[in-house]
Structure 1
Amino acid sequence: MAVEPRKGHRIWLRYSDGSSGQVDLSNLSGKGVFRVWDHPGVFDDVHVAPHGAVAWNEEIELCPDALYIELTGKPGEDVLTALRAQAPSA
Structure 2
Amino acid sequence: MNPRVKDVFPRKDHTLLIVFKNGETKLYDCKPILNFGVFQELNDLNYFLMVKVEHGTVVWPHEQDICPDTLYLEGKEVEKECNAV
TM-score, structure 1 length as denominator?
Answer: 0.69
Distance 2:43 2:76 in 1: 27
- Percent of residue pairs identical: 33
Counterpart residue number, 2:11: 6
Write out the 4+ residue segments of structure 1 that deviate beyond 4 Å after TM superposition. none
- Tell me if structure 2 keeps the 8 A contact 1:19–1:72: no
* Correspondence 1:11-90 to 2 at 5 A: 11-49=16-54, 51-71=55-75
Structure 1 residues 59, 20: closer, same or farther in 2, change over 3 A? same
SS of 2:33's partner is coil
Higher share in strand = 2
What displacement does 1:66 show? 1.8
Q: TM-score, normalised by structure 2?
A: 0.73
Partners of 1:13 and 1:38 lie apart in 2 by 19
Unmatched tracts of structure 2, length 5 or more: 1-5, 78-85
AA matched with 2:48: F
Q: Name the structure where helix makes up a greater proportion of residues.
A: 1
Question: Is the contact between residue 52 and residue 64 of structure 1 (CA under 8 Å) also seen in structure 2?
Answer: yes
Q: Does 1 or 2 have the higher relative contact order (CA < 8 Å, sep 6+)?
A: 2
How many pairs align?
Answer: 72
Which entry has the higher C-alpha Rg, 1 or 2?
A: 1
Aligned CA-pair RMSD: 1.8
